[in-house]
Amino acid sequence: MSITAAIAREPKKDFEVTKVELDEPRADEILVRVHGVGLCHTDLAIRDRRLPLGMPAVLGHEGSGVVETVGADVTKVKPGDHVVLSFNSCGHCVMCEQHKPVYCREFGTLNFGGTRADGSHTLHCKGEALYNFYSQSSFAEYAIAYERNVVKIPDDVPLELMGPIACGIQTGAGAVMRSLNCRAGSSIAIMGGGSVGMSAAMAAAVQGCTTIIVSEPVAERRALALELGATHVIDPLDQDLTEALREIIPLGIDYAIDTTARAEVILAAVGALAPQGVLGLIGVPASMDMAVPFTLAQLMGSGLSIRGIHTGDSDPDVFIPQLVDLYRQGRFPIDRLMTVYRLEDINVAVHDQHDGKIIKAVLVTNAVAK
């Protein structure tokens, strides 16, 4: 079928929005009419070759939409169901069997391989094969997905805004609610006030943390963080970050989340941790070779823990419905983070997000009206 999609062709160059051909779904595949898709930092890291994927490709991995058709072997969803598209997993490896699909042994192949298991491509443009991303490629009007990476959601929430839960939002929220499981009454510092950091702050409020600190240089984002649950905000450009955190809690903070992947910020957070404090790392570094010079004495002397976290340790079938339910209750207002653009305006959205004019761009497709 002929659809409109955004193609990534060259690093740091605009996406090409054009007509492409999408295969009909096979027996194990699901065709989703995409209503909205989040613009994630990871999409741009892929486009700019900081993470591996064949090119040219149709990116997008925070899709949401309506199931159009399903293959003969699909039983999880049916046409008309509202769904969020997340990462794919095999379902049978040791990590999947432990309900930790984000650490699936086949995660790289399924999400970054760029093709079906048999090597075929789902997308083409004028005869040229296009690579697939995260088993969805949702920068498009329609996407082919699989039972392991679709999650059914209720019909009474704004479908076009739910896609970002699939990655950025469940990354920030999951780091707090699942990975660190922050205890009620504890303190937490969140480095960065983008959509991931704001999601972490909202999750900290849900968890009952009593001191929630957000470090963010943009004044408008600091103000929003206070409205979304933060008890304190810091401008890291205005003062020493460790000292600022210690001024709020002299004995140190219980938990810290870093979304910046900046060495100096990570070290500042470590310096502000309380004895047996925990730092969660969820930012995507500019280089996969990035190293941070911790000292063993610093870690051992205070019993500190540093935890790498992938997508909030999420099990999407469990966690996405939980976050949607919190949104319905008014306890997780993710819509306040989002600015809507048309898919055709993806390049404007990229620049606005990069320039800090918005927090989270959501691209709405013309397929919504079909």
User: What's the CA dihedral at 221, 186, 283, 234 to 10 degrees?
Assistant: 30
| Section 280-305 average pLDDT | 84
DSSP string, 8-20: E-STTS--EEEEE
DSSP string, 76-120: S--TT-EEEE-----SSSHHHHTT-GGG-TTHHHHHHS-S-TTS-
Whole-angstrom Cα distance, residue 128 to residue 56?
A: 9
Structure confidence at residue 368 (pLDDT)? 67
Residue range 127-159, pLDDT digits in tens: 999 999 999 999 999 999 999 999 999 999 999
| Section 206-223 average pLDDT | 97
Q: Are 332 and 326 in contact (CB under 8 A)?
A: yes
Q: For the chain, where do the domains classified as CATH 3.90.180.10 start and end?
A: 2-166+333-369
User: Percent of the chain at pLDDT above 90?
Assistant: 89
Whole-angstrom Cα distance, residue 350 to residue 137?
A: 17
Whole-angstrom Cα distance, residue 112 to residue 104?
A: 13
| Section 63-70 average pLDDT | 97
Residue range 233-269, pLDDT digits in tens: 999 999 999 999 999 999 999 999 999 999 999 999 9
- Band of residue 274 on the pLDDT scale cut at 50, 70, 90: very high
Structure confidence at residue 184 (pLDDT)? 98
What are the CB-based long-range contacts (under 8 Å, 24+) for 87-96? 87/61, 87/111, 87/134, 87/135, 87/149, 87/166, 87/167, 87/311, 87/316, 88/134, 88/135, 88/145, 88/146, 88/148, 88/149, 89/148, 89/149, 90/148, 91/148
SS (H, E, C) 213-279: EEECCCHHHHHHHHHCCCCEEECCCCCCHHHHHHHHCCCCEEEEEECCCCHHHHHHHHHCEEEEEEE
Whether 202 shows a pLDDT value over 80: the answer reads yes
Structure confidence at residue 370 (pLDDT)? 52
Distances (CA, A) of 59 to 26, 35, 131, 253, 277: 21, 15, 8, 38, 37
CATH topology of domain 172-310: Rossmann fold (3.40.50)
Q: Return the H-helix or E-strand segment holding 188.
A: strand 187-191
Whether 369 shows a pLDDT value over 70: the answer reads no
Give the position of tokens 């991995």. 61
Give the position of tokens 């999947």. 96
Q: What angle do CA 223, 197, 226 make, to 5 degrees?
A: 25
Q: Are 207 and 184 in contact (CB under 8 A)?
A: yes
Whether 125 shows a pLDDT value over 60: the answer reads yes
Structure confidence at residue 289 (pLDDT)? 73
List beta partners, residue 306. Answer: 279
| Section 319-347 average pLDDT | 96
Which string of b and e fits 134-168 if b means at least 16 CB within 10 Å? Answer: bbbbbbbbbbbbbbbbbbbbeeebebbbbbbbbbb
Average pLDDT, the chain: 94
Whole-angstrom Cα distance, residue 311 to residue 101?
A: 10
The two three-digit tokens of residue 214, written as one number: 């957000």
- Band of residue 49 on the pLDDT scale cut at 50, 70, 90: confident
Whether 81 shows a pLDDT value over 60: the answer reads yes
Beta-strand relationship, 16-22 and 2-8: antiparallel
- Band of residue 294 on the pLDDT scale cut at 50, 70, 90: confident
Residue range 85-118, pLDDT digits in tens: 999 999 999 999 999 999 999 999 999 999 999 9
| Section 331-336 average pLDDT | 96
C-alpha closest to that of 11 among 49, 52, 53: 49
With a CB cutoff of 8 Å and minimum separation 6, the contacts of 177 are 203, 206, 207, 312, 319
Q: For the chain, where do the domains classified as CATH 3.40.50.720 start and end?
A: 172-310
Pick the CATH number of 2-166+333-369 from 3.20.20.140, 3.40.630.30, 3.90.180.10, 3.80.30.20: 3.90.180.10
Whether 169 shows a pLDDT value over 90: the answer reads yes
